[in-house]
Amino acid sequence: MKLHSIPGRIAVIAALSGAAALTLAGCSTASTGSEFEASAPSTLSGTVSFWHFFSDREAEVIQSVVDDFEAANPGVTVEVHEGQDDEKLRKAIATGDKVDLGLSYSTDVVGNFCSTGAFRDLGAVIKRDSVDLSQFSDTVRSYTEFNGVRCSMPVLADVYGLYYNKDLLAAGGFTAPPKTLSELQDMAMKLTTFNADGSIKTLGFNPMMGWYENSAAHLGPLGAAEWLNADGTSAISGSPGWTELMEWQKGFIDELGYDKVNAFTAGLGQEFSADNAFQVGSVAMNLDGEYRTAFIADQAPQLNYGTAPMPVIDSDASLYGGGYVTGNIAGISKGSQHPELAWALLKYLTTDTDAIVKLSNGLKNAPTTTDALASPALEVSPQFKTFLDIMQNPNSATTPPSPLGAGYQQTFEDFWHSYQSGAVSDLPAGLADVDKQINDQLNLVSGP
C-alpha cells in the first residue's frame, strides 16, 4: 500500500523532490564507501536499520517478513523504523548515517535519488550476485532506475482499474462494464440520479480531477499519453492522448455541471474510511487501485462488485486491458554503514518468492516477479486477478523518473484543474505553457 491519497501524495512528493534536488545535489556515491560490492561474505552478522512508511496492520505484515529474514540469518538483527514517510527518509539520508535500507511509497523519488546518489547504484552488486532482472516486467524495471543507474528495487506494485457496483449496473440495465470512455460517460449519465432541487444524489462515475484516485498519472495509459521526451523534457503538448483525455473529461464535467459535481464531491466520505463513496453506493463506478479489494473485504464485505480495466480513449480501443502501474521502491542509503546487510535484506524483500507472496497476501498489493505471480500460494480473488492481468498487459504504463520527481506531474495537474473549471480558453496554448514551465524547472535543477 502506498501513502494516501494519490493527489495529495503527488503534492507532497513534488514539494519533497524540489527540496531534495537542492539538498541532495552534489552528493555522490564516491563518498559512500561502496567497496562492499567487491566480494560476497560467507556469513552475515550485525545490525541493519530499515526505514519504511507502513503503520498499524500493514507494519505488522512487514515485520512478519523481517522476522523470517532474521530467522534465516541468525547473526543479523534488523532495527525497524516504521511510519517514516519520504520526507523523514530524505532528511535522514541527507544528514547522516541513520538509514541503511529505506523503503519509499513513491517511484517519483527514483529520478532524484538515483541522480544525486541518495540511494546507491546497485549495478555492481546485482551483477556480483547474478540477480536476474528479467523476472521484473519492463514497466517495473523502468520505474526503479534512472538514466541507466539502478538505485532501487521494487517492493510490490500498485495497479489501477475500474471498480463497478454490480447491483447498480444491473438496476440500470447494464450487464458489463464499459470499455471506452464514451461508453463510460453514457452509462454514468444513465446511472446518475438527482435530488428534487436538481443537485446530484448519486453519480454513475465521478470525473472530477483530483478526487480520490483521479489523477493525470492514472489516466495517462488510457490514451497512451506521453509525459517526457527521451532527453527528459516535457512531451505533454505534443502527445495527442492528453488532448483527447482532457477534452473527454471536460465534456463529461460540463454535461453534469461543474458546480454540481463540485458540491456533490465535497459531501462524499473520506477515501480510506468506511464511508468511501464507492463502498456506500454514492458512485456506481470508480477508478481505484488493487488495494481497494482489501478495504472492501474489511469495511464493506457485502458489497456486490466487479473489477475491470479502465475504459480507454475512443480513437484507439486496442489500448483496452492496460492501466497505470506504480509501486513501492527500496534502496541502500548513501550513508549506510552496513550496506552488505542492507543489500541482503533488500534482495530478500524483492526477489525471494515466499517473502514477496507473503507481503502480497498481507498487503493486497501486486507481486512484481514472475515466480511470485505464478505461485500457487498467492491468494487471488476474481476481483484481484483483474489487476494482475492489467499489470502484465503490454498497454500498461507508469510515470517516468525525472530529476523533478513528481514536479512535472503537479505542474500538469494544476493546469488540468484550471481547465476543468472553465478557466482555460485555449487548450493547445495552455499545454504549450505547461511544457515551458516543466522545462524551466528542469533547467533550474540540472543547470550548472
Q: Once rounded to an integer, what is the mean pLDDT over residues 374-397? A: 96
pLDDT at 12 over 80: no
Strand partners, 387: none
79 forms bridges with which residues in the sheet? 49
Domain range spanning residue 387? 46-158+325-392
Question: Rounded to the nearest 5 degrees, what angle is found at the Cα of 382, between the Cα atoms of 377 and 387?
Answer: 85
Cis peptide before 28 (omega within 30 of 0): no
Residue 244 and residue 207 share a domain: yes
Q: Is the pLDDT of residue 398 over 60?
A: yes
The predicted model scores a pTM of: 0.87
pLDDT (tens digit, 9 = 90+) per residue, 135-163? Answer: 999 999 999 999 999 999 999 999 999 99
Does residue 98 have a pLDDT over 90?
Answer: no
Give pLDDT tens digits for 312-347: 999 999 999 999 999 999 999 999 999 999 999 999
Provide the pLDDT for residue 21: 42
Q: Give percent of the chain with pLDDT exceeding 90.
A: 82
Q: Is the pLDDT of residue 8 over 70?
A: no
Q: Is the pLDDT of residue 18 over 80?
A: no
Tens digit of pLDDT for each residue in 421-431? 999 999 999 99
Full 3-state SS string of the chain? CCCCCHHHHHHHHHHHHHHHHHHHCCCCHHHCCCHHHHCCCCCCCEEEEEECCCCHHHHHHHHHHHHHHHHHCCCEEEEEECCCCHHHHHHHHHHCCCCCEEEECCHHHHHHHHHHCCECCCHHHHHHCCCCHHHCCHHHHHCCCECCECCCEEEEEEEEEEEEEHHHHHHCCCCCCCCEHHHHHHHHHHHCEECCCCCEEEEEECCCCCCCCCCHHHHHHHHCCCCECCCCCECCCCCHHHHHHHHHHHHHHHHHCHHHHHHHHHCCCCCCCCCCCCCCCCEEEEEEECCHHHHHHHHCCCCCEEEECCCECCCCHHHECECEEEEEEEEEECCCCCHHHHHHHHHHHHHCHHHHHHHHHHHCCECCCHHHHHCCCCCCCHHHHHHHHHHCCCCCECCCCCCCCCHHHHHHHHHHHHHHCCCCCCHHHHHHHHHHHHHHHHHHHHCC
**Do 182 and 313 fall within a single domain?**
yes
Q: Which residues contact 199 (CB under 8 A, 6 or more apart)?
A: 260, 263, 264
Q: Which of 417, 378, 383 is nearest to 262 (CA)?
A: 417
Four-residue CA torsion sign, 287, 166, 250, 266: negative
Answer whether residue 7 shows pLDDT above 70: no
Cα–Cα distance, 375 to 354 (Å, whole number): 9
280: left (phi over 0), alpha (psi -120 to 50) or beta: alpha
DSSP β-ladder status, 325-332 and 101-104: antiparallel
Residues 383 and 259 reside in one and the same domain: no
CA triplet 18, 24, 25: central angle to 5 degrees?
A: 90
User: Is 23 part of a structural domain of the chain?
Assistant: no
With bands split at pLDDT 50, 70 and 90, how would you rate the model's confidence at 169? very high
The number of domains in the chain is 2
Quick one: 248 and 359 in the same domain?
Answer: no
pLDDT on residue 16: 46
Q: Which three cell numbers stand for residue 184?
A: 463510460
Place of cell 529505506: 102
Q: pLDDT class for 405, splitting at 50, 70, 90?
A: confident
Q: Which three cell numbers stand for residue 147?
A: 538514466
The confidence band for 65, taking pLDDT boundaries of 50, 70 and 90, is very high
User: Could you tell me if residue 41 is inside a domain?
Assistant: no
Q: Is residue 245 part of a domain?
A: yes
pLDDT at position 448 is 52
Residues 279 and 426 in one domain: yes
Q: Is residue 143 part of a domain?
A: yes
Torsion angles phi and psi, residue 289, rounded to 5: -90, 170
Same domain for 315 and 200: yes
Q: Tell me, what's the pLDDT at 29?
A: 35
- The pLDDT of residue 102 is 97
Which of 157, 285, 314 minimizes the C-alpha distance to 222? Answer: 314
Assigned domain for 164 exists:
no
Q: Which of 5-19, 67-81, 411-425 has the lowest mean pLDDT?
A: 5-19
- Between 268 and 30, the more confident residue is 268
18 within some domain = no
pLDDT for the residue 26 = 33
Do residues 244 and 223 make contact, with C-beta atoms less than 8 angstroms apart?
yes
- The phi, psi pair for 72, rounded to 5°, reads -80, -15
The answer to whether residue 419 is domain-embedded is yes
Residue 291 grid coordinates: 488495494
Whether residues 315 and 335 fall in one domain: no
In sequence order, what are the beta bridge partners of 203? 283
* Residue 399 maps to a domain: no
**175 & 95 share domain:** no
> For the residues 392-411, what does the mean pLDDT come to?
93
Assess whether 120 and 230 both reside in one domain: no
CATH number of the domain bearing residue 89 = 3.40.190.10
Q: From CA 233, how far away is CA 378, in angstroms rounded?
A: 40
- In terms of DSSP bridges, do strands 283-289 and 200-205 run parallel, antiparallel, or are they unpaired? parallel
Same domain for 299 and 408, yes or no, is yes
Looking from the CA of 113 toward its CB, the CA atoms found within 13 Å total 35
Query: 357-393: string of b/e by CB count within 10 Å (b at 16+)?
Result: bbbbbbbbbbbbbeebbebeebeeeebbebbbbbbbb
33-44 per-position pLDDT tens digit? 457 888 888 899
Split at pLDDT 50, 70, 90, the class of 24 is very low
Q: What is the pLDDT of residue 244?
A: 98
Mean pLDDT (the chain) is: 91
Are both 419 and 278 inside the same structural domain?
Answer: yes
**Residue 305 sits in the same domain as residue 333:** no
